[in-house]
Structures are given as C-alpha cells and as structure tokens.
Amino acid sequence: MRRLLNINRTRAKKSLGQNFITDNNFLLKMNTYIESSKNNVIIEIGPGKGALTKHLLKRKFKKLFLIEKDNDLAIQLKLKYEKIKNIYIINDDALSFDYSIFKNIKEKVIIYGNLPFNISTKLLTIWISDNEWPSFFDKMILMFQKEVADRIIASHNNKKYGRLSVLVQSRCNVKKLLNAPASIFTPKPKVDGAIIQLKPINNYNKINISNLENLLEQSFSSRRKKIKNTLKEYKQLLTKLDIDENLRPENLSVSNYCALVKLIS
C-alpha cells in the first residue's frame, strides 16, 4: 500500500521532460475525445502517474498498452494495474520502442499521450516517417507545445507553415482539439500546450518520405528566398507543374511539394 501511495508523491524529473497534468477539468475535456470500443487497441505514451489512464480505463477496449520510460513510475503503474485484465505496462523509451508489433493487427489502434515537449516532434516524425503507409495507428490524440502545434496545423501562405507542416500533413489530417495552458501542469512549464488529433490519409502514400524530408530541408533552409534560388536545379519540374518560381517556400501547398518530390523520385 505504501508503494502504491508513492505514485502520487513522485516528483517530476526534469531530465525526462516530465510535466504531470493535475487539472481535473482539463482531463474531463480530454475524456470527451476518448473512443470506446471493445475492438480498440489503445496506446498511452508517458502515462506518468496515471491521470489520463484512469479515464481510458472507463472506456471499452481490447487491450491497453502504457509505455512509460521512468522506472519508478513503471513499477508503481504495474502495482496499481496488475490485477486489471488486458493492461500491459511497458517500461521502455517511446523513442526507441519497436512499434512494428502493432502492424498487421485487425483492431483499431489509437495513441494518446501527454508527450514531453522536448521529444514530441522527434517522436511524431518517427511515427509518420515509415515508407510503408498507412502506418500502424488509426488515430493519435497528442499533446504538443503550443508553438509546435501551431506549426503542425498551419496552412501554406502562413508564417508558421514550414517543413513540419508539410511533412505531417502529407501523412495525416490534423485538427486542433484543445488548448492546454501551462497552469494545468505540475510543475508548471514555461510554455502552453495544445492537443492535436491526427488521422492517417492515403493521398500521398506513394511518396518516398525520406525524399520529401530532403526536399523540404532544402526548400526551407532559407525560407525568405524565392524557390528559384532554393530549388533552382528543379526549374524544369516547377515549370511542368505550373508552379511559379518566384514564390517562396511557404507559398507552396502540401500537394505542390508532394507532386514535385514524385517527379524528382
């Protein structure tokens, strides 16, 4: 019993980028976006002390996987949930975990996560950078730093639109669900967060994602320059696609970039 009580006394570790959600009103809002089905396989990234987990447990699911890097928290989560059927606590780093175990399963895979801000972009890139598309997940509802969330959902002709916007939107439909002010966390971070929903799309499933990343890196390396300078070796292809070479990188749509990388490939 003492060990179980310790989970609420555990302090956040700065080295792991931990910020625990402690605002129950916010969790109740999050709760409205949790799907309930006996055919769902749910993955929660960084359950921490289990604040969101307790809401996931109220829903129907086939299996629930909790991936927690913190050794102490993983042990305490196992003690807390070891008698509940179909819950699997995995003490591992979400960045290096092998998600291929979720491929080729018939059930719907949904990922939820209060992602540490310091690894959120890297983790998202890992999930969407598989050239075998569609990926293992059917939907993700994830926490990001607000600035990163704004970049993910930004449309072209927007100052926040950039490499990350194109890369993510070439793979997923994105939608902002909730703002997450810094005040809902303990300890309180220096920045606000936001909850984003991501659903895979097949519009550009034939695109080589590595080639797209390289093209975006080249295009946005000097985002104030016109693409006739940043993408000058592709002038003939730009003409073929009827893309004005006097545009800047942020003026090209996701479909423009995907069409261009398809011709380059």
Question: What's the token pair of residue 88?
Answer: 């699997």
Q: Verify that 94 and 145 share a domain, yes or no.
A: yes
- Give the Cα separation of 170 and 167 in Å (integer): 5
Q: Verify that 196 and 213 share a domain, yes or no.
A: no
| Local structure of 19: helix, strand or coil | coil
Q: Is the pTM of this model over 0.85?
A: yes
Q: Verify that 112 and 146 share a domain, yes or no.
A: yes
Residue 36 CA neighbour count, 13 Å, CB half: 8
Question: What's the token pair of residue 91?
Answer: 């003490």
Q: Verify that 191 and 240 share a domain, yes or no.
A: no
| Local structure of 44: helix, strand or coil | strand
Tens digits of residue pLDDT in 92-131: 999 999 999 999 899 999 999 999 899 999 999 999 998 8
Q: Which of 155, 173, 200 is the last residue of a domain?
A: 200
What is the span of the domain harbouring residue 231?
A: 209-264
Q: Verify that 195 and 223 share a domain, yes or no.
A: no
- Give the Cα separation of 156 and 165 in Å (integer): 9
Q: Verify that 125 and 20 share a domain, yes or no.
A: yes
Structural domain count, the chain: 2
Question: What's the token pair of residue 100?
Answer: 């291929």
State the amino acid at position 38 in one-letter form. K
Q: What is the H or E stretch that residue 207 is in?
A: none
Q: Verify that 165 and 241 share a domain, yes or no.
A: no
Question: What's the token pair of residue 183?
Answer: 């005040």
Bridge partners (DSSP) of residue 142 are 113, 196
Q: Verify that 110 and 178 share a domain, yes or no.
A: yes
Give the per-residue pLDDT at 182.
97
Closest CA to 165 of 116, 115, 121, 102: 121
Which residue stretches of the chain have pLDDT < 50? 1-2, 5
Q: Verify that 190 and 236 share a domain, yes or no.
A: no
Do the strands 87-90 and 139-145 form a parallel or antiparallel pair, or are they unpaired? unpaired
Q: Verify that 219 and 99 share a domain, yes or no.
A: no
Q: Which of 180, 200, 220 is the last residue of a domain?
A: 200
Q: What is the H or E stretch that residue 229 is in?
A: helix 227-230
Give 6-10 contacts, CB < 8 A, sequence gap 24+. Answer: 6/76, 7/49, 7/50, 7/73, 7/76, 7/77, 7/80, 8/49, 10/49, 10/72, 10/73, 10/76
The CATH number of the domain holding residue 116 is: 3.40.50.150
Q: Verify that 59 and 182 share a domain, yes or no.
A: yes
Question: What's the token pair of residue 109?
Answer: 């895979």
The CATH number of the domain holding residue 238 is: 1.10.8.100
Q: Is 196 exposed, middle or buried (0-12, 13-18, 19+ CB in 10 A)?
A: buried
Q: Verify that 85 and 173 share a domain, yes or no.
A: yes
Tens digits of residue pLDDT in 178-208: 999 999 998 899 999 999 999 999 999 889 9
Give the per-residue pLDDT at 187.
84
Give the per-residue pLDDT at 154.
98
State the amino acid at position 134 in one-letter form. P
Q: Give the DSSP per-residue string, 135-187.
A: -S-SEEEEEEEHHHHHHHHPPTTSTT-SHHHHHHHTTEEEEEEEEE-GGGEES
Region of 157 on the Ramachandran plot (φ > 0 left; ψ -120 to 50 alpha; else beta) = left
Place of tokens 């959120």: 120
Q: Give CA separation, 160 vs 23, 70, 103, 154, 246, in Å.
A: 29, 33, 33, 6, 20
